[in-house]
């Protein structure tokens, strides 16, 4: 006759609690790692928030986690003058590579 320690569950699936770090986007550069906070934008409309934006005096930047692992792998910067540039993370080397730039119509 044992204690009924299992009465609250059988060790099934655990959902991450809201606001857990797993929901946050993060990125690293060299030794530094930044927790950018929870994604609040769904750029590809699959129902999962994958991006967040930061607005500064010179424009805004969109940080996107395109493969849903939490690590930001695409940054699009949009200047106040309408110019934009994008860079994608090479996850193998940790290097950011420019992919696109130009000017918004």
CB of 61 to Ca ion, least distance (A): 16
CB of 103 to Ca ion, least distance (A): 26
Distance (Å, whole) CA 37 – CA 10: 32
User: Which of residues 82 and 94 has its CB atom nearest to Ca ion in the complex?
Assistant: 94
CB of 90 to Ca ion, least distance (A): 12
φ, ψ dihedrals at 81, nearest 5°:
-90, 5
User: Which of residues 23 and 79 has its CB atom nearest to Ca ion in the complex?
Assistant: 23
Distance (Å, whole) CA 27 – CA 45: 22
Q: DSSP states of 63-86 as a string?
A: EE-TTSSSB--EEEEEETTSEEEE
Positions touching Ca ion (CB under 5 A) are 42, 44, 46, 48, 50, 65, 67, 69, 71, 73
User: Which of residues 83 and 99 has its CB atom nearest to Ca ion in the complex?
Assistant: 99
């Amino acid at each position: 006759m044992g204690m009924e320690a299992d009465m609250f569950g059988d060790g099934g699936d655990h959902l991450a609690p809201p606001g857990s770090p797993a929901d946050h986007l993060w990125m690293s550069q060299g030794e530094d790692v930044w927790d950018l906070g929870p994604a609040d934008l769904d750029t590809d409309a699959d129902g999962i928030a994958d991006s967040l934006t930061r607005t500064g005096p010179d424009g805004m930047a969109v940080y996107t986690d395109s493969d849903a692992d939490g690590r930001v792998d695409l940054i699009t910067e949009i200047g106040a003058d309408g110019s934009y540039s994008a860079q994608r993370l090479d996850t193998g080397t940790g290097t950011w590579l420019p992919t696109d730039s130009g000017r918004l119509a």
